[in-house]
Amino acid sequence: MKIVIQRTTGVEIRIDGKLHSATGDGLLILFGTKVGDTGESCGYLADKAINLRIFEDSAGKMNLSALDVGAEIMVVSQFTLYADTRKGRRPGFDQALKPPEAERLYERFVELTAASGLVTKTGVFGAKMDIAFTNHGPVTIILEHEL
């Protein structure tokens, strides 16, 4: 399982040109699963994401977590995180988990993130979405958990 965390000053998700959801200052988390992933990875990565100290303290050092600053979280499923580009010019997605199981793990990750008490919003699993955000810092962290 892999997540890409981006510190943002807000995120907007549009589907078919209509605003679906939006957050303020916080994190955009892109969530991807691969064959063999389990719910155990959801717990590990949700905890890591909300407790990762990537927000600045009063001294300007990245020393505060999403929990410390009351960040808002946007979680978006993204199977392309497991694109295989080693051969040819067209990415392959054989390692990406198939939709029914991937959606179950995505929903579990969202549930665990929301259990932190932070405002947690989502896109729509499998939908074509337009995502607008400002990467603040910029700060982008990639986390992966394998069993």
Residue range 67-89, pLDDT digits in tens: 999 999 999 999 999 999 999 99
pLDDT for 107 beyond 90: yes
Domains of the chain: 2-144 (3.50.80.10)
pLDDT score, position 146: 84
Q: What is the mean pLDDT of residues 48-60?
A: 97
Closest CA to 121 of 39, 2, 13, 8: 13
CB-based contact 7:54 (threshold 8 Å)? yes
Q: Residues with catalytic annotation?
A: 78-80
Q: What is the mean pLDDT of residues 15-28?
A: 98
Q: Is 111 left (phi over 0), alpha (psi -120 to 50) or beta?
A: alpha
pLDDT score, position 82: 94
pLDDT for 147 beyond 80: no
| pLDDT, mean over the chain | 96
Full-model pTM: 0.95
